[in-house]
Amino acid sequence: MEIKVLAFGIARDILGGPELKISGPENLTVGRLLELLKERYPAFVDLTSLAIAVNAEYANENQPISAGDEIVIIPPVAGG
């Protein structure tokens, strides 16, 4: 399954662009996606936190990812 991942802030800098196409297993979960990202881009390991949003909601690690979901990497937020 190929999915498209969007990135903002420092995550965009780490990826070198605003989106990444990544192929993963059919039973991909949020937790496995985080592992894949950290394996491919070790700079993610150094961040204070790293979360994934699925369809504009924070997702827990067990959540499955389906083709067509909007997947966004959420590095440490700093609003306000």
Partner 1 sequence: MTIDIQLLTTPLDTNVCQQWVEAPDKGGLVLFVGTVRNHTQGKEVLRLDFEAYEPMAISEMRKIAMTITERWPESRVAIHHRVGQLAIGDIAVIIAVGTAHRAAAFAACQYAIDTLKQTVPIWKKEIFADGEVWVAAHP
Q: Which residues bind partner 1 (CB under 8 A)?
A: 6, 8-10, 13, 46-48, 53, 56-58, 72, 74-80
Secondary structure (DSSP) of 24-80: --TT-BHHHHHHHHHHH-GGGGGSS--EEEETTEE--TT-B--TT--EEEE------
Least distance from partner 1 to the Cβ atom of residue 54, Å: 10
CB nearer partner 1, residue 14 or residue 28:
14
CB nearer partner 1, residue 26 or residue 56:
56
